[in-house]
Structure 1
Amino acid sequence: MGLFIGNGADAPLLSSISPKIPKDTFHLAYIVHFIFGVGFLLPGNTFITAVDYFSYIYPGVNINRIFTAVKMVVCFITVVIVLGWARKSSSYLRINIGLALFVASLLTVPIIDLAYVKGRVGLYNGFYVTVAAVVVCGVANGLFESGVVGAAGELPERYMQASGAGLAASGVIVSVLRIITKAIYPHDASGLRSSANLYFGVSIVIMVICLICYNISNKLPVIQYYKDLKTKAQEEEEENDKPYLSKSPWKSSLWDVTRRVKWLAFARFLIFVVTFSIFPGHITEDVHSRILNDWYPILLIACESLFNLVGMSLPAFYLIKNENVVVTASLARLLFYPLFLGCWYGPAFLQTEIPTATLTCLLGITNGYLANVLLILPPKTVPIQHAEAAGIVMVVFSNLGLSVGSIASWLWII
């Protein structure tokens, strides 16, 4: 019989296998997974958050839409490749290479600014190099996210929840940085360069922290325990020379794992299509306020990021485990399209700040909660030796949704 780490009715508890599960002393493993979550999106968020700087030196370019689409598509392709080679590749190697590439991509912008652009406007060769850095960032994101989510899928639910909360926290971090820099730096070449360098400097430091934390956390007893558990389950499966759960309607293969989680994967895909076809492109470039002026998109992004963090944190207190409810709630988010269209083309009272801000907050909190639930549930529906595969499948569908959503965001300006 195989080993499950979920809490489903048909899943045996780990305590029935071994009562000596190591304690997560000082919640170190939880904190480290939160930091990993910050690392998922922080580099990409940094490129997008520096939109004021990039828009100033590269006028006439849709920075947010281009950077988002390039990064998401490259990340999706990378994750698909990882999925095909997951059994032959090491998550340890993928995560370390991903973090190193993150640092390299983030270093590119300050170096280009210092050595070539120097705050001058219209040097589009610098833009092309920056897009190349975004491509590297996308590759890094695919390697790092697939490795961390796959590994967290083999652990109890709380560690995946921590990663999700950290992911949302990265958005809050860059939003706060953008508010601070906009308040203290002048809106000229010097001020924009200083703010951009601050964004990238902070991100580089955090990615180095992620690199150190990962290589330390790999040796924590609680992490090692579940790794050993997976290894034993794999050995049992090989000794039996047959798929685990032979009475199950699906066999232990990548295709069967995908079939098992297909509706959850579709729901996660749909969540990100809806969110990223609206945010950040539509919210940052297509809505305007006479009262708040250029502060309006910044505050809207901060609202979305903050409520996304709230939503990502809620599964720690209440986790919906009914797949039908989660999928239905994901479909219901399609209502955001007519609602946001109303804020753009509808009656005058809908085009004011309060309705738009309210919808943005709802977009964030529903995205955060449902996305995290859909990251937690799938690995718990399969044996532990296939939890990594289930996690990577969800990452594939996540990035497919992000890619489709970021490309679909262009429809708002057609």
Structure 2
Amino acid sequence: MSVADSTRSSSPTRLKGKYSGMVVCWILGLGSLVSWNSMLTIGDYYYELFPKYHPSRVLTLIYQPFALATIAILAYNEAKIDTRRRNLTGYTIFFSGAFALLVLDLATSGKGGLGNYVGICAIVGACGVADGLVKGGMVGDLSFMCPEFVQSFLAGLAASGALTSALRLITKAAFERTNNGLRKGVMLFLAISTWLEFLCVVLYAFIFPKLPIVKYYRTKAAAEGSKTVAADLAAAGIQKEAADTVKIFERLSNKQLFFQNIDYVLDLFLVFVTTFSIVPGFLFENTGSHNLGSWYALVLIAMFNMCDFLGRCVPLVGQLKLKSRKGLMIATLSRFLFIPCFYFTAKYGEQGWMIMLVSFLGLTYGYLTVCVLTVAPQGYKGPEQNALGNLLVLCLQAGICSGIALDWLWLIGKGKF
């Protein structure tokens, strides 16, 4: 079946599989961050093994530059890249990384030491590469489909944080009073994460490309000149016809797309700078000691993740979705008030105020991320939407890297370097 014929025949049934697609996108979003959130959420375990190495800050500092470099290279060359191979490679690395963390801990019997720490850092770096492969690839791919797919994927990203936090609290409670309970909880936790990553590989390889709605949007993108969907179409049993039968559209360059959407780019960059200048390092190392003891940092991370997930679900209600470009910029800039609020709350406030502040940080972070990423690609052709999705993820990743670098400033005067 040719691309053109497939597009015409699929049009009346293009909505078939929409809800199945949303579920699959949610799970794929979950798998895109579950490895990283697993490493973040077991921070209490790594602080016990490596108390002098600032695990939450160092692992983040390793992970994010690898992700940024990967997405920068791929965003520049996105028009020539096989999206299917890119995403499958990323999910496979995520699966291998989660499994490698489990094997490493078993092989070393949960001991600390520099060699073990270097091994963990190497695995984290590999997962950073996988993040750059998957996040840009998936957002770009879904940007030329229905907005609900992008939103489901982003909700899955947030759900990975909420799920890992919930699982971590459960495993910590279940094994806390047993011999070597902290490590046993982490082992079970990593085993579940590994299984979730394997599920994502299967879903993306065999289920997602065969959904009618996915085939419709990919054949439409191919008819508009996209070269990134050929392998996905072949996996769905659709053969791309000769190039001279494909409609030719004058595509905007990456530079033109960037400057046409400069406000959206800045929104994402600043949202992530603000958030990651606080999470996770500040929450683990700068909030002091409170009644919750060793549970305190885990509760803060859990509240952030759960409110992030809630914030990403709010735009599902159309009336609550912020679409104004000016409104998005004002909301983004107002989040800089979190910096002094966290400083004074950590210094003078009780744990209840900190939990409330972290919850609001997560809520606004998730909400604004979804609003920008679902509104920005509208009005462009398929290849342009793919390119813009990659550019937005690149700026998002740059914001994360800048935020985690600024996070180290909280240690000034603390004598912890």
Whole-angstrom CA distance in 2 between matches of 1:207 and 1:189: 29
Residue 26 (structure 1) shift = 7.0
Aligned to 1:397: 395
Contact kept, 8 Å, 2:223 with 2:247, in 1: the verdict is no
Contiguous gaps of at least 5 residues in structure 1: 1-14, 245-251
1:304: which partner in 2? 304
Distance in 2 between the 1:227 and 1:112 partners?
Answer: 40
Q: Tell me which residue corresponds to 2:274.
A: 274
Equivalent residue pairs, number: 387
Per-residue CA deviations over 1:323-364 (Å, capped at 9, x if unaligned) read 11111111110110111111123xx4xx11222111111101
**Post-superposition shift, 1:18?**
8.4
Aligned to 1:313: 313
TM-score calculated relative to the size of structure 1:
0.89
Q: Is 1:76 aligned to 2:68, yes or no?
A: yes
1:57 Cα offset (Å) = 2.0
What is the deviation of 1:254? 1.3
Match of 1:307, as an amino acid? C
Distance change >3 Å, CA 291–CA 395, structure 1 → 2: same
Shift of the alpha carbon at 1:25?
3.2
Residue 257 (structure 2) aligns with: 257
Measured in 2, the distance between the counterparts of 1:177 and 1:304 equals 15
Q: Does the 8 A contact of 2:139 with 2:150 survive in 1?
A: yes
Residue in 2 that maps onto 1:412: 410
Q: CA deviation at 1:242?
A: 6.5
> Which digits, 9 at most, give the CA deviation of each residue in 1:203-245, with x for residues without a partner?
111111111111211111100101111111128999786625x
SS in 2 for 1:257: helix
Q: For residues 31 and 142 of structure 1, do their structure 2 counterparts lie closer, same or farther at Cα, with a shift above 3 Å needed?
A: same
CA RMSD of aligned residues (A): 2.2
Deviations along 1:382-411, whole A, 9 cap, x unmatched?
Answer: 222211101000110110011111111111
Rounded Cα–Cα distance in structure 1 between residues aligned with 2:88 and 2:194? 14
Contact kept? 1:234, 1:385, Cα under 8 Å? yes
Q: Does 2:330 align with 1:338?
A: no
Relative distance call for 1:377 and 1:185 in structure 2 (3 A) is same
Alpha-carbon spacing, 1:237–1:295, altered in 2? closer, same or farther (3 Å):
farther
| CA spacing shift, 1:211–1:240, aligned 2, 3 Å | closer
Name whichever of 105-114 and 335-344 sits farther off.
Answer: 105-114
Q: Give the aligned partner of residue 240 of structure 2.
A: none
Partner AA of 1:408 in structure 2: L
Could you tell me which amino acid in structure 1 is paired with residue 405 of structure 2? I
For 1:74 and 1:44, how far apart are their aligned partners in 2? 13
Letter in 2 for 1:413: L
Which one of 365, 368, 389 corresponds to residue 366 of structure 2?
368
Task: Rate the CA distance shift 1:176–1:241 in 2: closer, same or farther, 3 A.
Answer: closer
Q: Following the alignment from structure 1 to structure 2, what is the Cα–Cα distance between the partners of residues 237 and 260?
A: 30
Residue 64 of structure 1, CA deviation: 0.5
Partner of 2:3: none
Equivalent of 2:215 in 203, 218, 224? 224
Distance 1:145 1:18, change over 3 A: same
Q: Percent identity?
A: 28
Q: Which residue identity lines up with residue 101 of structure 1 in the other structure?
A: I
Name the SS for the 1:230 alignment partner: helix
Residues 145 and 187 (structure 1), Cα distance of their counterparts in 2 relative to 1, 3 Å cut: farther
| Superposed displacement of residue 59, structure 1 | 2.6
Partner residue of 2:78 out of 69, 80, 86: 86
* Secondary structure, aligned partner of 1:278: coil
Please say if residues 33 and 163 of structure 1, whose CA atoms lie closer than 8 Å, have aligned partners that are also in contact. Answer: yes
